[in-house]
Amino acid sequence: MSVASAVLRRVAAGIVVLWAAATAAYLALLAAPGDMVDSIIGDGADTPQIRAEVIAEWRLDRPALVQYLDYLWRAVQGDLGRSYLLQRPVADVVGAQVWPTLKLAIAAAVFGSLLAVILAVAIRRPWARRFSSTAELVMVSTPPFLIGIVLLSVFSFQFGLFPVSGDRGFAALVLPAVTLGLPIAGLLAQVLRDGLDRALDEPFAVTARARGLRERSVLARHALRHALLPAVALAGWTFGVLIGGSVIIEQVFGRPGLGQVALQAVSAGDMPVVIAVVVLAATVFVVVNTLADLAGLLIDPRLRRS
């Protein structure tokens, strides 16, 4: 019915966006400087025979359109090609580094959202709000690497509470997750607070108070759901910050992960790996965004109408 069709429509839109993103990435591959054969050979020996072998191996002799369709078809099956540099399947190279990044992203997202909800819901007095909103502005505007560097110099170098680099144990996760979570907490808290203020101004909040509800219940049972809507819509953005931020955070804290892989690949011109990371990120983005849309449907029945 209407709910099912609304879900289908969003999933379909997600697939279209994904296809366009994969195509854009492929265009980037084509636009990469120099001959693809040169890139693959890199610093290795370069003879006509090796060139011919490379062309045969990568099947570069086929028409561009066929190669494009082949790329899409293989991408759907999870085959992202081979790394020029490492001569290993890209899926392996990337796959080995997904977990550290995912761990960091999840920890940061959980920390950031919790902090945001606490800031927005608990701090309602005017003077505390002024302080809190200034703090949020600072959190949103501070480059993550600065937060990381400050935290490192205080907690790791001064007090030696947390390891300086690496990814061993929970302690190594704390500072990176806090660093990555703070900007998210800052923006989400602003959006949530704004949503709460708006909702508490609405006539239905007056009606709820007139029923004898405590202000706390009006907030929790009525206003919070309304405030969640714009916050949930930011899920895609949050994810972008997490991924983009993790590239930098991994560098600051010397952690392994997708960011390191991407960075090395960019400096080495290893396009299949760059593209794999980018397409993977886009895929997760689309999934997250679609889920957020569906969560929106769940929260707001008005959106279920076509």
Partner 1 sequence: MTLALTRPVTGRLRLRTRPRPGLAVAAVFLALILTAVAWPSLFGGDPLAADPLNVLQAPSARHWFGTDQLGRDVFDRVVHGARHSLSIGVAATLIATSTGILLGLLAGLGHRYADEAFSRTFDALSAFPIVLLALLFIAVAGTGTTSLIVAIGVALTPHYARVVRAQTFVVRRAAYVTHAVAFGASRPRLVVRHVLPNVLGPIPVIAVIGLGEAVLIAAGLSFLGLGPQPPSPEWGAMLSEGRGYLHIAWWASVLPGLVVTATIISLTALGRHFQRRFEGRTA
Partner 2 sequence: MIEVENLRVSFKLPGRVVEAVRGVDLRIAAGECVAIVGESGSGKSVTARSLVGLAGPSSTVTADKLEIDGADARGYTSRDWRRVRGRFAGLILQDALVSLDPLRTVGAEIGEVLRVHGIGDRRDRPQRIQQLLTDVHLPEPERRVRQHPHQLSGGLRQRALIASAIAGEPRLLIADEPTTALDTTVQAQILKLLAERRTAGEALLLISHDLAVVSRLADRILVMKDGRVVETGTTRRLLTASGHPYTKELIAAASGRRRVSDTEPGPVVAEASALRKVYADRTVVRGVDLTIHRGEIVGLVGESGSGKTTVAQLLFGLIEPTSGHVRFEGQQFSGVPERARRPLRRRLQFIAQDPLSAFDPRWTVRRIVGEALGRGEPVEPVLIRVGLDPDLLDRYPRQLSGGQRQRVAIARAVAPRPSLIICDEPVSALDVSVQAQVLDLLAEIRRDDGTALLFISHDLGVIRDLADRVLVMHDGRVVEQGPVQAVFDHAGHHYTRTLLAAVPKLEVPA
| Interface residue list for partner 2 (CB under 8 A) | 202-204, 206-215, 217, 221-222, 225-226, 299-302, 305
Binding of partner 1 at residue 264 (CB under 8 A)?
Answer: no
SS (H, E, C) the chain: CHHHHHHHHHHHHHHHHHHHHHHHHHHHHHHCCCCHHHHHHCCCCCCHHHHHHHHHHHCCCCCHHHHHHHHHHHHHCCCCCECCCCCCEHHHHHHHHHHHHHHHHHHHHHHHHHHHHHHHHHCCCHHHHHHHHHHHHHHHHCCHHHHHHHHHHHHHHHCCCCCCCCCCCCHHHHHHHHHHHHHHHHHHHHHHHHHHHHHHHCHHHHHHHHCCCCHHHHHHHHHHHHHHHHHHHCHHHHHHHHHHHHHHHHHHHCCCCHHHHHHHHHHHCCHHHHHHHHHHHHHHHHHHHHHHHHHHHHHCHHHHCC
Q: Is 135 or 299 the residue whose CB approaches partner 1 more closely?
A: 135
Q: From 9-17, 64-72, 104-112, 215-223, give the range in contact with partner 1 by CB under 8 A.
A: 9-17
Partner interacting with residue 209 (select from partner 2, partner 1, none; CB below 5-8 Å by kind): partner 2
Binding of partner 1 at residue 241 (CB under 8 A)?
Answer: yes
Q: From 30-38, 42-50, 64-72, 103-111, give the range in contact with partner 1 by CB under 8 A.
A: 30-38
* The two three-digit tokens of residue 170, written as one number: 């929970």
Nearest distance from C-beta of residue 142 to partner 1, angstroms = 5
Q: What angle do CA 28, 60, 74 make, to 5 degrees?
A: 65
**Exactly one of 152, 182, 189, 224 binds partner 1 (CB under 8 A); which one?**
152
- Footprint of partner 1 on 110-139 (CB under 8 A): 134, 137-138
**Exactly one of 56, 206, 220, 298 binds partner 1 (CB under 8 A); which one?**
206
Nearest distance from C-beta of residue 298 to partner 2, angstroms = 10
Q: From 19-27, 58-66, 68-76, 298-306, give the range in contact with partner 1 by CB under 8 A.
A: 19-27
Partner interacting with residue 6 (select from partner 2, partner 1, none; CB below 5-8 Å by kind): none
**Exactly one of 281, 292, 293, 296 binds partner 1 (CB under 8 A); which one?**
281
In whole angstroms, what separates CA 162 from the centre of its chain?
Answer: 25
Give the chain's end-to-end CA distance (angstroms, integer): 10
In whole angstroms, what separates CA 46 from the centre of its chain?
Answer: 40
Q: Is 63 or 212 the residue whose CB approaches partner 2 more closely?
A: 212
Q: Is 31 or 45 the residue whose CB approaches partner 1 more closely?
A: 31
Where does this chain bind partner 1 (CB under 8 A)? Answer: 13, 16-18, 20-21, 23-25, 28, 31-33, 134, 137-138, 140-146, 149-150, 152-153, 157, 164, 197, 201, 203, 206, 236, 239-241, 243-245, 247-248, 251-252, 262-263, 265-267, 269, 271, 274-275, 277-278, 281-282, 285-286, 289
